[in-house]
Amino acid sequence: MTKLHPDVSSILLSEEDIHEIVARVGAQITEDYRDKNPLIVAVLRGAVVFVADLLRAIDCPCEIDFMAVSSYGNDVKSSGVVRIMKDLNTNIEGRHVIVVEDILDSGLTLSYLKDLLEQRGPASVEVAAFTIKDIDGYEPPLTPRYVGCHIPNEFIVGYGLDYAEHYRNLPYVGILKPEVYS
């Protein structure tokens, strides 16, 4: 039985749920990229837990690289401009790229990154998002090809997702108690 962190009110995705998601997305990528040697691009830091599991669920040759991004100030965030803190080590010209993220919230980060990578002459750029946050009346600027699951508009932590850099190490995705962040 999973021990619930005292700051978490309930579990949204259990370890079993996560295992099923990872297996399904890994099988889809294996099927689609069998002879393509895709480059898996993990966006630090949140995606690190998902990508570590996903990589092992992909049963075909593939490579991994990392990017780190940071949003500019709040005002600029709405424009979707992000600062590249760490760029790829790999030349992606002619490569099939899969960008892996832990969460699509506004979708601005992924939208910006996809556009940026597409300017570098890759064979293709697709996105795998572990979660998509469903926000009433909001249509994100991008629809990932691979989606782990949709989640309600709650403050969630765990499995890579943080609040003030904490809780990334929880093995499940849980809803943070409001008193923790208010």
Q: Which residues bind ligand PRP (CB under 6 A)?
A: 43, 45-46, 71, 101-109, 162
Residue 14 CB, shortest distance to ligand PRP, in Å, is: 21
Q: Return the number of the residue (106 or 124) whose C-beta is nearest ligand PRP.
A: 106
Q: How many CB atoms lie within 10 A of CB 180?
A: 17
* Nearest-approach distance from CB 12 to ligand PRP, in angstroms: 16
What span, in angstroms and rounded, lies between the C-alpha atoms of 126 and 100?
9
Q: Taking every pair of C-alpha atoms in the chain, what is the biggest distance, in angstroms?
A: 50
Sheet containing strand 96-104, strands side by side: 82-86, 63-71, 39-44, 96-104, 124-133, 146-151
- Please list, in sequence order, all residues whose beta carbon lies within 8 angstroms of the beta carbon of residue 89, skipping any fewer than 6 positions away: 65
Nearer to ligand PRP, 74 or 119 (CB): 74
Minimum CB separation of residue 104 from ligand PRP in Å reads: 5
Between 49 and 92, name the residue whose CB sits nearer to ligand PRP. Answer: 49
Q: Is 105 a catalytic residue?
A: yes
Catalytic residue chosen out of the listed positions 102, 105, 115, 134: 105
Give me the active site residues, please. 105
